[in-house]
Amino acid sequence: IRRNPAEPNFHQAVHEVVESVMPLVYDSKKYRDASILERMTEPDRIITFRVTWMDDAGNVRANRAWRVQFNNSIGPYKGGLRFHKDVDLDTLKFLGFEQTFKNSLTGLPMGGAKGGSNFNPKGKTDAEVMRFCHAMMTELQRHIGEDTDVPAGDIGVGGRELGYLFGQYKRLNNRFAGVLTGKGLSFGGSVGRKEATGHGAVYFLREILQHRGEGLEGKSAIISGSGNVALYAIEKLEELGCKALTASDSSGFIFDPDGISGEKLEFLKDLKEVRRGRIHEYADKFGCEFHPGKRPWAVKADYALPCATQNEVDEADAKVMVANGLHVLIEGANMPTTADGVTTLQQGGVIFGPAKAANAGGVAVSGLEQSQNALRIAWSHEVVDTRLKGIMAGIHQKCLRHSLEVHGTIDYIKGANIAGFVKVADAMVAYGAI
| Phi, psi dihedral angles at 177 (to 5 degrees) | -140, 160
Shortest Å distance, C-beta 3 to ligand NDP? 25
In the complex with ligand NDP, which residue's Cβ is closer, 229 or 299?
A: 229
Cα 348 to Cα 142: distance, rounded to the nearest angstrom: 49
Residue 120 burial (10 A CB sphere; 0-12, 13-18, 19+): middle
Residue 49 burial (10 A CB sphere; 0-12, 13-18, 19+): middle
Residue 114 annotated in active site: yes
In the complex with ligand NDP, which residue's Cβ is closer, 137 or 223?
A: 223
Shortest Å distance, C-beta 250 to ligand NDP? 3
| Phi, psi dihedral angles at 306 (to 5 degrees) | -70, 120
Shortest Å distance, C-beta 58 to ligand NDP? 27
Asked if 333 is part of the footprint of ligand NDP (rule: CB under 6 A), the reply reads yes
Cα 369 to Cα 180: distance, rounded to the nearest angstrom: 9
| Phi, psi dihedral angles at 386 (to 5 degrees) | -65, -40
Cα 301 from chain centroid (whole Å): 23
One symbol per residue from 252 to 291: x for binding ligand NDP (CB under 6 A), - otherwise; what is it? ----------------------------------------
Is 153 known to sit in a ligand binding site?
Answer: yes
Is 243 known to sit in a ligand binding site?
Answer: no
Is 197 known to sit in a ligand binding site?
Answer: yes
Shortest Å distance, C-beta 395 to ligand NDP? 13
Residues 276, 280, 286, 288, Cα dihedral to 10°: 150
Shortest Å distance, C-beta 193 to ligand NDP? 8
Q: Binders of ligand NDP among 51-110, rule CB under 6 A?
A: none
Residue closest to 232 by CA, chosen among 257, 277, 201: 201
One symbol per residue from 290 to 329: x for binding ligand NDP (CB under 6 A), - otherwise; what is it? -----------------xxx--------------------
User: Which residue of 91, 226, 344, 403 would you call a contact of ligand NDP, by CB under 6 A?
Assistant: 226
Cα 218 from chain centroid (whole Å): 27
Residue closest to 135 by CA, chosen among 72, 64, 58: 64
Cα 165 to Cα 15: distance, rounded to the nearest angstrom: 34
User: Which residue of 7, 249, 256, 302 would you call a contact of ligand NDP, by CB under 6 A?
Assistant: 249
The CA R_g of the chain, rounded to the nearest whole Å, is 21
| Phi, psi dihedral angles at 270 (to 5 degrees) | -65, -45
Cα 358 from chain centroid (whole Å): 9
Is 99 known to sit in a ligand binding site?
Answer: yes
Asked if 359 is part of the footprint of ligand NDP (rule: CB under 6 A), the reply reads yes
Shortest Å distance, C-beta 106 to ligand NDP? 11
| SS3 call for 55 | coil
Cα 173 from chain centroid (whole Å): 29
User: Which residue of 115, 163, 225, 353 would you call a contact of ligand NDP, by CB under 6 A?
Assistant: 225
In the complex with ligand NDP, which residue's Cβ is closer, 37 or 248?
A: 248
How many residues line the site for ligand NDP (CB under 6 A)?
A: 22
Is 366 known to sit in a ligand binding site?
Answer: yes
The catalytic residue among 29, 30, 93, 114 is 114
Q: How many C-beta neighbours within 10 Å does residue 298 have?
A: 16
User: Which residue of 20, 69, 72, 228 would you call a contact of ligand NDP, by CB under 6 A?
Assistant: 228
User: Which residue of 227, 252, 296, 415 would you call a contact of ligand NDP, by CB under 6 A?
Assistant: 227
Residues interacting with ligand NDP, by CB under 6 A?
Answer: 153-156, 158, 197, 225-230, 249-250, 307-309, 332-334, 359, 362
Active site residues: 114
Q: Which residues are annotated as a binding site for NAD(+)?
A: 197, 228
Q: Which residues are annotated as a binding site for substrate?
A: 78, 99, 102, 153, 366
